[in-house]
């Protein structure tokens, strides 16, 4: 009897492992938004590419810019003033 329970338990663990491995590829839910497929923007200051959602948006002279950090934004603005 115990063997049967163990067998069912092993089967359940195995099944959940398999379904866990297959599920992320099959589901199309935008729940876990990874960097894949996201718009990449360039930081004009340090020329780093980063996802748009992580970037700091700034409007300089009517142009939309994206920065990786506030430091880059500040440095870029200072460079523009010269």
Footprint of Zn ion (CB under 5 A): 43, 45-46, 48, 68, 72
Smallest gap from Cβ 58 to Zn ion, in A, equals 12
Closer of 27 and 74 to Zn ion (Cβ): 74
DSSP string, 28-58: --TTS--STTPPEEE-TTT--EEEGGGSEEE
Q: Please give the Cα distance from 61 to 34 (Å, whole number).
A: 32
Which one, 43 or 65, has the nearer CB to Zn ion? 43
User: Cβ 33 to Zn ion, closest distance in Å?
Assistant: 22
């Amino acid at each position: 009897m115990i063997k049967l329970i163990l067998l069912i338990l092993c089967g359940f663990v195995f099944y959940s492992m398999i379904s866990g491995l297959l599920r992320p590829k099959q589901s199309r839910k935008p729940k876990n938004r990874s960097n894949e497929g996201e718009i990449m923007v360039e930081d004009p200051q340090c020329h780093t590419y980063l996802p748009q959602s992580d970037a700091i948006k700034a409007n300089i002279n009517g142009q939309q810019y994206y920065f990786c950090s506030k430091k880059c934004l500040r440095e870029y603005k200072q460079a523009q003033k010269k």
